Structure 1
Amino acid sequence: MLGRYRGGKTVQKFWDYLTAFRIGLSNILFLLVFVIFIGVLGFSGGSSEIEDSSILRINPDGIIVEQKTAISPLNQLTGGGQQNTETLARDVVKAINTAKTDDDIKGIFLDLSGMEGGSMPLLNSIGKALEKFRETQKPVYAYGLGYSQSQYFLASFADKIYLNSSSFHFSGGLSLDGLGVYPLYMKSALEKLKINAIIIKAGDYKSAGETFVRDQMSDFAKEANQKFVDDLWKEFLKVIAANRKMSLASLEKFVNEMPKLVDTEPYSPSQLLIETGLLDAVLSNQDWKKKLEKISGKEKEDRLVSYRDYLRARGPETPDNYSDKIAVIIAKGEILTGDHPAGTIGGASLSKLIKQAKEDSSIKAVVLRIDSGGGSAEASEQIRVALSELQRKGIPVVISMGQVSASGGYWISATADKIFAESTTITGSIGVITMIATLENSLEFLGLNVDGVGSTDFADPYNPLRAPNPSIIRLAELSVNEVYRKFISLVADGRNMPIEQVDSLAQGRVWSASDALTHNLIDEIGDLEDAVAAAGELAGIENWDRIYLEKEKTSAEKVIEEIINQAAGDGRAFPGMRLREAIKESEKILNTMDSPQILLRCLECNIRL
């Protein structure tokens, strides 16, 4: 007894020391965060005033997003989790719009070297703001060592596009490679690992699960994917052709024949780009500085101000203080059950925001901005029901689709009062899928076996270490078919279409915005601004303030985010990003092994420039 008692005292003392250490470490980390925060502010220093004759530098980092992905403050501080840098599109738009009427800003410099990518709708929204800025006769110039596809798309909205003479890009400093859908297929790998993957789906074109049971894309998937990829690429080229005052035919011809055209002596791809009209000139750093000085009118003075510093100096936008409000709610990412942070759509967390709008008497309409390839059927229905409760109260619901609003994203949209899609939106994928994966063959190969008894034949039905139960597989088939019937019924009711017509358009097929409009799956092609205007019209109000309803960040998250913004790096993605992204997309389905779910997922819909 005495020995055990001493041991217990020793364990207790160790635990007390461990607790004290943990608390002390937390305090040290907090003080470290505080010191870094003050230091960064001091380092960024300088006056918050904007000098006269300044040039606004639009220098986004990482990926342009609709909503930043929330990660833990500690991960943000330490770089844990390999989180890509993100830039909020509406921050960039706000800076451009503010600068438009600011006499201290004489022009804009597009420094896109740190921009990693973004969806066409978001890049278009920034481009439209640049067009309005140019209407004030202030110039917009782009300058860089080279332009990726997404960077050039945004640069095409500038008055002039210049290439740094130090560029040694093999295609002359400009990449127009095209769009593609290339999922990672794992059938042979799973067979070698002896993993048993069973895919149950409703919809001939529903291809989200075929990556696990095939080694190549099915003919159904190729047919549907080729159609929407071609439609998106044409929209991409149309914007560039219009911005650069070229014909679409000549641009398509150049892009398709570029490797052959530059294979001449002397080899000068950048000169070919200038002659074609895609670039304006190749400039040295010295010549570029002279151009900036000419814009500002200040020789040998650096009058560049980054858009982040500019927003901090000018402060937040002042609302018009109208009594009526239109609430915009962002729904971005995979749809999951439960409560989730920004960057993921939680059924519970998004429903709370919708309920908040319902209980606010000043909110007269709601616009739900969706950028999602789907996820959980249960969470999708929870969100749709929350929206229908708004409608029952007489509050119009308008959907604004971003780059993708497919499968679960379309389920949420189906019964809204009005649906807008961007010209480059991918939508549809009205189909259902589930997956049951088991490891019994893998274990047997290793000499391991699972055996035992249960009170029924169905005991422990989803244990991935046991062979799948035939009765459970049959129940999964019945459930998938029933959810599919509910899906097409919702669409038929919401879109006022015969269910047979919906079934023919569904089958898991992905549609471009133009095809979706033709088939009555959406009401209009338009951006977020169009959707907000339509919401005001449906609500019968002429003047309103737009407000964004978002999940509140903690104080620690706000402090760390400010540190990250102050010390933003070049935003470039880490090596191997494409492979990790492909694995991550597949992992979302594999994560259901312990408890199979009915999924509304579109695996191939996540296209980024």
Structure 2
Amino acid sequence: MNQPPPARGPVATFFVGAWNVVNFARKLFLNVLFFGFLLFLIMFMILLAGISSSSAVKPVIDRTTLVVAPEGRLVEQYSTDPATRALAKLLNDKDAEEIQLRDLVRAIDAAGEDKKIERMMLRVDKLQPTGYASLREVAAALERFRASGKQIVAFGENLGQHQYLLAAQANEVYLDPMGGLLLEGLGRYRQYFRQALQEKLGVDVHVFRVGEFKSAVEPYVLDAASPESKEADLFWMNDVWQRYLGDVAKARKLTPQQLAAGIDTLPEGIAAAGGDLAKFALQQKLVDGLKTREDVENLLIERGVADEDSDTGFRQVTLEGYLAHLDTQRAATLDKRPQIAVVVAEGEITDGEQPAGRIGGESTSALLREARDDEDVKAVVLRVDSPGGGVFASEQIRREVAALKAAGKPVVVSMGDLAASGGYWISMNADRIYADPSTITGSIGIFGMIPTVPRTLEKIGVHTDGVGTTRFAGAFDITRPLDPAVGQVIQSIINKGYADFTGKVADARKKPVEAVDEVARGRVWSGAQAKERGLVDELGGMQAATDYAAQLAKLGGADKYRVRYIEQNASPFAQFMGRMAGSRIGALWLKDSDIARAMLAQRLPEANTQLRFVEEALQDRQGGAPVKALAYCFCGF
């Protein structure tokens, strides 16, 4: 049995109390000193970041070569905050790198008018494009650069056909003698899981849809693509491919027939070239010569200005450095002109608040409301690059588009690579819809899908049983067989969703519902095909959409207004870390400090994880409705 501690006397109590007071004061003093030092350190780093960032922007001098060598995915909008991007770059995380389409086009167009930029060196080996519509916007910018009288020299080591569309726009295209370049055509192949799910695992997938061309659910219920799916896919893919051949042929002064013949006779041609892909590309006139990187750099030294301090040996500015130069110039100007606001809707459409790179029913609606409430905003361009998603979230955004129009602010949609299904839902009420001829759009249709797993559980000896107060209590439990009556309920909901979709399209596009149904039923179209069928108003890119928005708002010429992107703001901490990581001092500290890396890994927001959309959509979130209609298109390359 434990004995209680002996009671302290009055003298001992006094000294113990005095010590506690002193100890508390000591800890308080040290904590104040520590946090004061921490605050000083943070302010010092902010000052250094600001000074270093300002000094890092070097002025562009005469006869400079702009080196355009974008790395990472070509996106409409960054999917991570500035700090995460800066850290990923410092840690050489290639998978996380992104380049915004708007920045790439802006730099090329500015360089075409910049008297200090003499020529361009183009390297696109490490660019990861997402579709042909955005690539054609970049290609158009390169064509404008050439039209200004300036030369583009492209060099590649290994080029895919997406990247080659840009390289082909150069005056001269060089390929490494040990490199490769192949044009192969467009293909779209998916895995089909019916046998694995139903026969191997015992999962029964119940599909509810309207439209024989709504093929998003086919991999779960078939072993191969349906005839309707193949017919629709081949129709729009052939249109996109013929346009690709035409674009490349025009740039390289060839004919589409020559390019197609080179692909059809690929085995014989490569064999005749001794298996040498670079030599084969030269024989096909896809490139102008075979040179190493050093050869090309020496060529640019001869044509430009030698610079011993440059890594390339010639006077140059990188794409990143040139963008920083342009941003510095823009920041120095106080612009009070009326605005055209651009809201980017990129990614899957899901409920609630979503980060950049995804579309949230609430978060994207909030951006559109911000544009509506801002008196300086006179018109809005909604840039859509989305395969769709949830019907409810799509409807929330569509309502905000309608509210903008009701407030007297014109809305013009510019479709990017993909604006299908829910992506079309949020677009249809615009005053005018622009699409690139190679945009993928349409897919006006609705589907729902419920997997049930009682046979799966039986394989391991697990059975489900119980009671309910009505015949439908627990009817949506996936561990139980699906009641045919429940299936009837779900199909009715899907039918209603399709009727809503086509009805809203008919109202927005001023067409009979029957006419909309003929081009709907889940079928996918290219932008050019969609225009022929009245789903798109005009063919053109972002600039054409912006010009028309200015025209609707009666703003006058391009010098009478400015374009402003309305986006979610990064947190103050993320902004600070982004500035610090972007500075030379901060970059060195972060790159060499294991402690800094560990701290940032804990504090910075995590990059978005690409989850399977259907898996996420099928989850019953916090007791929400067990049936959710989806307007989604698994289309693309």
| TM-score, normalised relative to structure 2 | 0.81
- Aligned residue in 2 for 1:279: 287
Mapped contact 2:344–2:382 kept (Cα < 8 A): yes
Of the candidates 438, 451, 474, which is equivalent to residue 488 of structure 2? Answer: 474
Aligned equivalent of 2:249, options 241, 245, 257: 241
- Structure 2 matches for 1:145-544, cutoff 5 A? 145-165=157-177, 167=178, 169=179, 173-191=180-198, 192-264=200-272, 266-298=274-306, 301-316=313-328, 318=330, 321=335, 323-542=337-556, 543-544=560-561
- Deviation, 1:553, is 1.6
Offset of 1:238 from its aligned partner? 1.1
Cα distance in structure 2, aligned partners of 1:70 and 1:42:
23
The answer for the alignment partner of 2:571 in structure 1 is 554
Moved more, 425-434 or 81-90: 81-90
Q: Please say which of residues 148-157 and 68-77 is displaced more in the overlay.
A: 68-77
Question: What's the offset of the Cα at 1:430?
Answer: 0.8
Q: What secondary structure sits across from 1:373 in the alignment?
A: strand
SS in 1 for 2:426: helix
User: C-alpha distance in 2, partners of 1:327/1:317?
Assistant: 21
Partner Cα distance (1:116, 1:40) in 2:
32
What is the alpha-carbon root mean square deviation over aligned residues?
Answer: 3.3
For structure 1, which runs of at least 5 residues remain unmatched after alignment?
3-23, 570-582
Partner of 2:121: 109
- The match for 1:577 is none
> Quick check: 1:75–1:81 contact (8 Å CA) kept in 2?
no
- Letter of the 2:514 partner, please give it: E
**Could you tell me how far apart the structure 1 residues matched to 2:189 and 2:305 are?**
49
- Give, in angstroms, the shift of residue 324 of structure 1: 2.2
Cα separation, 2, equivalents of 1:80 and 1:73: 14
Aligned counterparts of 1:200 and 1:483: Cα–Cα separation in 2: 11
Distance between the aligned counterparts of 2:294 and 2:285, measured in 1? 23
Q: CA deviation at 1:561?
A: 5.2
1:490 match: secondary structure: helix
**Secondary structure at the counterpart of residue 137 of structure 1:** coil
Give per-residue Cα distances to partners, 1:271-313, cap 9 Å, x unaligned. Answer: 3422332100011344222211023232653423211122223
1:353-396: CA deviation from partner (whole Å, max 9, x where unpaired): 11111111222211111111110000111111111111112211
Change (3 A) 1:457 1:40: farther
Match of 2:562 among 542, 545, 560: 545
Deviation digits for residues 40-80 of structure 1 (CA, Å, limit 9, x no counterpart) = 99799866233543221111111111112137967984789
CA contact (8 A) 2:412 2:431 kept: yes
Q: CA deviation at 1:492?
A: 1.1
Q: Aligned in 2, Cα 1:562/1:406: closer, same or farther, shift over 3 Å? A: farther
Q: Is the 8 A contact 1:162 1:281 kept in 2?
A: yes
- 1:120 shift after superposition: 1.7
Larger radius of gyration, structure 1 or 2?
2
Cα-to-partner distance string for 1:128-176 (whole Å, 9 max, x where unaligned) = 22222223322111112121112111111111100123x2x4xxx2121
**In 2 relative to 1, CA 317–523 (structure 1 residues): closer, same or farther, beyond 3 Å?**
farther
Q: Which amino acid aligns with 1:127?
A: A
Tell me, in whole angstroms, the C-alpha distance in 2 between the residues paired with 1:99 and 1:81.
29
SS in structure 1 of the partner of residue 104 of structure 2: helix
Q: Does 1:606 align with 2:623?
A: no
In structure 2, relative to structure 1, the CA distance for the partners of 1:451 and 1:203 (3 Å cut) is same
Once the two structures are superposed, the pairs formed by residues 552-591 of structure 1 within 5 Å of their partners are: 552-559=569-576, 587-589=613-615, 591=617
Say whether residues 1:144 and 2:156 are aligned partners.
yes
CA contact (8 A) 2:57 2:324 kept: no
Alpha-carbon distance in 1 for matches of 2:188, 2:323? 37
> Structure 1, residues 543-575: CA drift from partner, whole Å, max 9, x if none?
321111111122333355567878899xxxxxx
Gaps of 5+ in 2: 3-33, 592-608, 621-625
| SS of the residue 2:181 aligns to | coil
How far apart are the structure 2 equivalents of 1:137 and 1:82? 34
Q: Is the 8 Å Cα contact of residues 61 and 87 (structure 1) preserved in structure 2?
A: yes
Q: Is the 8 A contact 1:435 1:589 kept in 2?
A: no
Residue type of the alignment partner of 1:555: P
| TM-fit CA distance, 1:452 | 2.4
What's the TM-score, normalizing by structure 1? 0.85
| Separation in structure 1 between the aligned mates of residue 94 and residue 302 of structure 2, nearest angstrom | 41
- Residues 313 and 39 of structure 1: CA distance in aligned 2, closer, same or farther (over 3 Å): same
**C-alpha separation between the residues in 2 aligned to 1:99 and 1:364?**
29
The total of aligned residue pairs comes to: 563
Q: Structure 2: how far apart are the matches of 1:261 and 1:81?
A: 38
User: Quick one: distance in 2 between partners of 1:433 and 1:550?
Assistant: 31
| Cα distance in 2, alignment partners of residues 536 and 457 from structure 1 | 58
1:70 paired with 2:101, answer no
Cα distance between partner residues in 2 of 1:308 and 1:162: 23
Identity %: 34
Range with greater deviation from structure 2 (444-453 or 240-249) = 444-453
* CA shift for structure 1 position 472: 2.7
Q: How does 1:91-106 map to 2 (within 5 A)?
A: 91-106=103-118
Q: Is 1:592 equivalent to 2:622 in the alignment?
A: no
Could you say which residue in structure 2 is the equivalent of 1:90?
102
Q: Matched residues in 1 for 2:567 and 2:81: separation? A: 15
**What residue identity is the alignment partner of 1:344?**
R
1:298-353, CA deviations, whole angstroms, 9 ceiling, x for partnerless residues?
26534232111222234346378353221111111101111101111101011111
